[in-house]
């Protein structure tokens, strides 16, 4: 019970924290080992190399397939309710993986390629799901005659921008994330009224 984390896990978590903050090139193996409370040589005995350590981190804490599941199981086909659920889930997922996303975005000269691939799958998938959702509504005449793809992109990118912005600066004025999600969904719902 007390032995919560193995040495390998401690190293992975320390690596995620440090690399997300300082970038891949800017973080040394010595730093990672020290933050994990082990010696540097132990890091290499476990993972062999710095790159392999990061790959192990991405494999362990990968994005979930939550969005796909949400679209197939939990939608009500009331636009406002659905967009609210989608927006909240989106931010929940992104927040949980914030550090890994940041690592992939910052890059690095020897940053393993697996990392970049991992990070690029999410938005592509979400855009497809959203576009199909709006298309289905459109066919049934539930919403105004808009372009489903553009609407999907607008919604997705609005939330991506909100997320990225939070990454950089926590000076979000006085608007909390959840009120932003609610009100921005209202705005989209207004625009989609037939």
Contact footprint for a second copy (CB under 8 A): 22-23, 25-27, 105-110, 120, 123-124, 127, 144, 146-147, 149-151, 153-154, 156-162, 164-165, 168-169, 171, 173, 175, 179-180, 183-184, 186-188, 190-191
* Binding-site partner at residue 30 among DNA, a second copy, none, CB < 5 to 8 Å by type: DNA
* Binding-site partner at residue 150 among a second copy, DNA, none, CB < 5 to 8 Å by type: a second copy
CA–CA distances in Å: residue 163 to residues 35, 47, 90, 141: 28, 32, 10, 32
- In the complex with DNA, the residue whose CB is nearer, 2 or 190, is 2
Question: Is residue 82 within 8 Å of 76, Cβ to Cβ?
Answer: yes
Does residue number 22 form part of the binding site for DNA (CB under 7 A)?
Answer: no
CA 187 to chain CA centroid, Å, is 24
Three-state SS for 93? helix
Residue from 5, 49, 95, 161 binding DNA (CB under 7 A): 49
Does residue number 51 form part of the binding site for DNA (CB under 7 A)?
Answer: yes
- In the complex with DNA, the residue whose CB is nearer, 23 or 85, is 23
- Integer Cα distance of 164 and 140 in angstroms: 35
User: How many residues in the chain?
Assistant: 194
Angle at 70 between CA 100 and CA 154, to 5 degrees: 70
* Binding-site partner at residue 18 among DNA, a second copy, none, CB < 5 to 8 Å by type: none
End-to-end alpha-carbon separation of the chain, Å? 57
Residue ranges binding DNA (CB under 7 A): 6-7, 27-30, 37-42, 44-46, 48-51
């Amino acid at each position: 019970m007390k032995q919560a984390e193995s040495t390998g896990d401690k190293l992975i978590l320390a690596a995620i924290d440090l690399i997300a903050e300082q970038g891949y090139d800017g973080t040394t193996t010595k730093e990672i080992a020290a933050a994990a409370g082990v010696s540097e040589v132990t890091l290499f005995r476990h993972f062999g190399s710095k790159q392999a350590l990061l790959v192990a981190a991405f494999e362990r804490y990968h994005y979930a397939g939550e969005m796909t599941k949400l679209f197939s199981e939990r939608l009500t086909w009331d636009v406002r309710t659905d967009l609210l659920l989608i927006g909240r889930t989106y931010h929940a997922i992104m927040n949980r993986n914030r550090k890994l996303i940041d690592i992939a975005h910052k890059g690095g000269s020897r940053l393993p390629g697996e990392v970049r691939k991992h990070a690029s799958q999410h938005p592509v998938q979400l855009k497809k799901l959203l576009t199909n959702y709006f298309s289905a509504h459109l066919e049934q005449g539930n919403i105004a005659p808009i372009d489903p793809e553009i609407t999907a992109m607008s919604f997705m990118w609005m939330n991506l921008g909100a997320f990225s912005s939070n990454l950089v600066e926590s000076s979000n004025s006085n608007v909390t994330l959840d009120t932003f999600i609610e009100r921005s969904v209202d705005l989209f719902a207004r625009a989609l009224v037939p």
